[in-house]
Amino acid sequence: MPLSAPVARAIRAVPAVSKQDVVVQFDNVRLDYAGKKKRITALDASNFSIRRGEFVAFTGPSGCGKSTILKLISGIIAPSAGSIFISGREIGAMPVRIGISFQNPTLLPWLTVRRNVMMPLRIVPPFKDEFRAKKNSEFLDRANALLAQVGLSKFADHYPWQLSGGMMQRAWICRALIHDPTLLLLDEPFGALDAFTREELWGILQTLFIRHRPTVLLVTHDLNEAAFLADRIFTMTPSPGCISDESAANFARPRNLDLMRTLEFTSLTFRLRDLIADAHRNDRHEVV
């Protein structure tokens, strides 16, 4: 059945990107790594741009290179070919503050929640030079404010082992945001949580995004999560991964869970599912 005009607009209307607004740019980026017998391409020639203050999700089958993109942006690994630009400069040319949150939060067990959240301020310029001079007062206020925003004020002096998985993930997101990152990279941050906790954290992350407006890159297998949180969604092909589709999620913010009951939302998620399923089928045929 053909999509109605409003649904089609919600899915396909991807706004143009101005060069002045671009925070992340991939120009023909490829990543190869050494296999047992030959070099393997993990990420094929990829091109995309992400605007300042935009929330972008990457989805696709396992092993398609979603997490690889985050590692390339953060400088953990270098591309085999092509160029990556952050805020108009090639990566490595100047320091860029990046916040990262992974699926399994690794909070230091001997530090309280508040001190875990403040850890980036001890090591990230320019905060590390001011940390002792300000005697922590300004930074304590910063940490306390973030913890209040995610409902952890009463647990600031607890230790990680005293928290639930969802509470640890909230603390981890606070730690990723405390140094005002240019980019917030989220790699399956809620994948290990139950459905109800995951949906609760979607709302918390959305609130933090609206208040702080970092540029967010989210890697997720959860298509509802991608459509609920993101402004744009990139769908990737199986290995060697590359971006095969770009969709807009033109839903007004703030979004609530009732959005997932709408025709526009379900049409978008089913379309994404069909894209990934078709890529799976084509990949199996090529192997055979």
- Edge-first strand order for the sheet with 243-248 is 98-101, 183-187, 215-219, 55-59, 232-236, 243-248
- pLDDT for 278: 81
Residue 35 falls inside a structural domain = no
Structural domains of the chain, count? 1
Instruction: Specify if 143 maps to a domain.
Output: yes
Two tokens, residue 29:
């980026």
Is residue 109, in this structure, part of any structural domain at all?
yes
Q: pTM of whole model > 0.95?
A: no
Residue 265 to residues 4, 138, 256: CA-CA distances in angstroms?
A: 13, 42, 12
pLDDT along the chain (288 residues), means of 10: 46 50 91 80 90 94 88 89 84 67 80 92 72 70 93 95 92 89 89 89 94 94 96 91 91 96 96 86 54
CATH number, domain containing residue 220: 3.40.50.300
Q: What is the pLDDT of residue 147?
A: 95
Residue 16 domain-assigned? no
- For residue 170, give its domain range: 52-62+94-287
Any domain includes 201: yes
Q: Does some domain include residue 73?
A: no
Q: What angle do the packed helices 113-123 and 165-177 form, to 10 degrees?
A: 30
